[in-house]
């Protein structure tokens, strides 16, 4: 991390310390996320019974915290504006292909594990995830998927006795 950071930057967060301007974007985005979540929780809370401090309803606590989160988010954004000289600085690279494939793989597993069964769901999930790396060819990914599926069946079904069908009811040959 090079030498000591300048004194006025000392209190700042580790990740962004190195690049002065980068801080602004990360603060703005972080603040925005917090404000969005705070608002979503606070607004939804209004549809639940709020109650009184004496006997709080289900909406009281999340409404209060949602408000606090919005406030914190605004403060973080504010700091981003104040210290932001290089707002054009980017967050750095995002592995879009990996992000897309891994999310897809996880969702696929959740959606199909009951219907297709453990073996097909695991195999496809492993295949999609393996392809997330640029260093893995299709052939290598198939090999990784086959190996992982066998390993998981061994660990979860044979060793741990997980009660899951290997091949599910969506398939003509469910086991």
Partner 1 sequence: MELLDNLALGLGTALQPENVLYCLLGVVLGTAVGVLPGIGPTATIAMLLPITFSLEPVAALIMLAGIYYGAQYGGSTTAILINLPGESSAAVTAIDGHEMALKGRAGPALAAAALGSFFAGTVATVVLAVAAPPLARIALRFGPAEYFSLVVLGLLASIALARGSTLKALAMIVLGILLGTVGQDIYTGTPRFVFGVRELYGGLNFVSVAVGMFGVAEILRNLEDERTRAVVVEKVKNLWPTREDLRRIVAPVLRATGLGSALGILPGGGHVLAAFASYSVEKRVSKRPQEFGHGAIEGVAGPESANNAAAQTSFIPLLTLGLPAHPVMALMIGAFIIQGITPGPDVITEQPALFWGLIASMWVGNVLLVMLNLPLIGVWVRMLTIPYHILFPAIIVFAAIGTFSLGFNPWHVYAIAFFGILGYVLIKCGCEPAPLLLGFVLGPLLEENLRRALIISRGDPTVFVTRPISATLLVVAVGAVVLAVLPAIRRRREVVFQEEL
Scan residues 108-167 and list those touching partner 1 (CB under 8 A): 109-111, 113-114, 118, 122, 125-126, 129-130, 132-136, 144-145, 148, 151-152, 156, 160-162, 164
- 53 contributes a contact to partner 1 by CB under 8 A: yes
Instruction: Yes or no: say if 109 and 68 are a contact pair by the CB < 8 Å rule.
Output: no
Looking at residues 1 to 40 of the shown chain, list those that interact with partner 1 (rule: CB under 8 A). 1, 4-5, 7, 10-16, 23, 26-27, 29-30, 33-34, 37-38
Nearest distance from C-beta of residue 108 to partner 1, angstroms: 9
In which residue are the tokens 């979540």 written? 37
Nearest distance from C-beta of residue 47 to partner 1, angstroms: 10
* Angle, CA of 144, 149 and 152, to the nearest 5°: 120
Q: Which stretch binds partner 1 (CB under 8 A): 41-49, 81-89, 165-173?
A: 41-49
Instruction: Yes or no: say if 99 and 91 are a contact pair by the CB < 8 Å rule.
Output: no
Alpha-carbon distances, residue 27 vs 60, 80, 85, 91, 123 (angstroms): 29, 5, 12, 11, 40
**Three-class secondary structure of residue 167 per DSSP:** coil
Looking at residues 64 to 83 of the shown chain, list those that interact with partner 1 (rule: CB under 8 A). 65-66, 68-69, 72-73, 75-76, 79
Nearest distance from C-beta of residue 165 to partner 1, angstroms: 12
Nearest distance from C-beta of residue 2 to partner 1, angstroms: 9
Nearest distance from C-beta of residue 135 to partner 1, angstroms: 5
β partners of residue 51:
56
Phi, psi angle pair for 106, to nearest 5°: -65, -45
Which position among 18, 46, 57, 81 is part of the footprint of partner 1 (CB under 8 A)?
Answer: 57
Rounded Cα–Cα distance for residues 156 and 164 (Å): 9
Size of the site for partner 1 (CB under 8 A): 82
Between 75 and 85, whose beta carbon lies closer to partner 1?
75
**Three-class secondary structure of residue 51 per DSSP:** strand
* Angle, CA of 126, 117 and 139, to the nearest 5°: 30
């Amino acid at each position: 991390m090079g030498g000591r950071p300048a004194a006025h930057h000392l209190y700042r967060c580790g990740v962004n310390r190195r690049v002065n301007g980068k801080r602004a974007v990360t603060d703005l985005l972080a603040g925005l996320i917090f404000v969005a979540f705070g608002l979503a929780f606070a607004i939804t809370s209004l549809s639940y019974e709020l109650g009184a401090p004496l006997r709080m309803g289900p909406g009281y606590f999340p409404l209060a915290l949602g408000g606090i989160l919005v406030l914190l988010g605004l403060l973080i954004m504010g700091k981003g504006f104040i210290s932001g000289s290089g707002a054009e600085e980017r967050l750095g690279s995002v592995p879009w292909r990996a992000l897309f494939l891994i999310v897809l793989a996880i969702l696929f597993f959740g959606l199909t594990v009951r219907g297709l069964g453990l073996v097909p769901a695991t195999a496809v999930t492993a295949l999609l995830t393996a392809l997330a790396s640029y260093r893995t060819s299709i052939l290598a990914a198939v090999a990784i998927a086959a190996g992982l599926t066998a390993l998981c069946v061994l660990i979860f079904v044979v060793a741990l006795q997980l009660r899951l069908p290997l091949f599910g009811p969506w398939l003509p040959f469910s086991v």
